[in-house]
Amino acid sequence: MLFAITFVFSRQLSVAPAANRQLQRTVILMSRRAIIIVMGILSFLFGTSSHSQPPRQRANPADAGRDLRQIMLSTPAAKFGVGPTAEFPRVYGVLIDWPIGEQVATIFSTSSGAASLYTTSTFGIIGGEAHEAVRTAAMNLVRAADQFFDSATPTAEFAYPTADRVRFFLLTFEGVRVIDTDFASIENQTSRYFEFFDLAQGVLTELRLITEQR
C-alpha cells in the first residue's frame, strides 16, 4: 500500500529548526479568485525519540521528505499493486513541487485517496487517507491529471523546480510524465494549469484541517 510505505519513512521526520520556521508557517492556499498566503498552519511536526535508533545510524532528518518523494517517483505502479481502472485509466498518482522561500513543498496524491505533504525541510504531513475529505480531494486531483497526460513529457529525471517554477509529476502506468511551468502564470491565474494547481491546494487544505483537529 502506498500509505504504508509513506508512514514508515515519515517517522524519520523531526522538529524543524528555527531556520525553517518560515516554511512551517507559510502555505499557499489557492482559491478560484486569488492566492492567499496563510501563516501558522503547518504546525503538525514529526519526531523520532532519542532512543529509537543509535545516533550513528540516523539519517539526516532533512532528507526524509526528499527520500519519500524519490521513492514515489521511481517505483513502478506494478510494485505498488496498482493497475488501470475505468476511473483512472492512465494516471494513478500526482506529485506537485513548488518552492516556498528556500525550501520546496511537494503535494502527493494517489487514486486510492492517499495524500501527504513532503518538504525539503524537516517536517511533513501524512495520514490523510484515513479521512474522507482528504481521500476525496486527493482522488479529484488525480482524476483531473488525466486531461494533461498528452501534454506532459515522459521523464526519468526528478529534479526539483527552480525558484520561479512549478513542476507537476504524473505517475502513470506507462511511467512518469512531467509538466514544468512558471509560477507567475499560476499566481495571476492565466495558466492552463491554474485549476489543476488549485485542486492540489485543496488537498493541502484538507491535510491542514486534520492536523488542526489533533
Q: Is the pLDDT of residue 2 over 80?
A: no
Give the pLDDT band (50/70/90) at residue 214: low
Question: So where are the chain's domains?
Answer: 2-212
| Residue 213 pLDDT | 76
Q: Please, which pLDDT band fits residue 43 given cuts at 50, 70 and 90? A: very low
Q: Are the C-beta atoms of 203 and 135 separated by less than 8 Å? A: no
Q: What does the block give as the cell for 168?
A: 507537476
Residue 132 binned pLDDT confidence (cut-offs 50, 70, 90): very high
Higher pLDDT, 14 or 122: 122
Percent of the chain with pLDDT over 90: 60
As to burial, measured by CB atoms within 10 angstroms (0-12 exposed, 13-18 middle, 19+ buried), residue 140 is middle
pTM: 0.76
Q: State yes or no: pLDDT of 126 exceeds 50.
A: yes
pLDDT at res. 27: 39
- Rounded to the nearest 10 degrees, what angle do helices 132-145 and 194-212 cross at? 160
User: At CA 124, angle to CA 20 and CA 77, rounded to 5?
Assistant: 135
> What local confidence, expressed as pLDDT, does residue 60 receive?
75
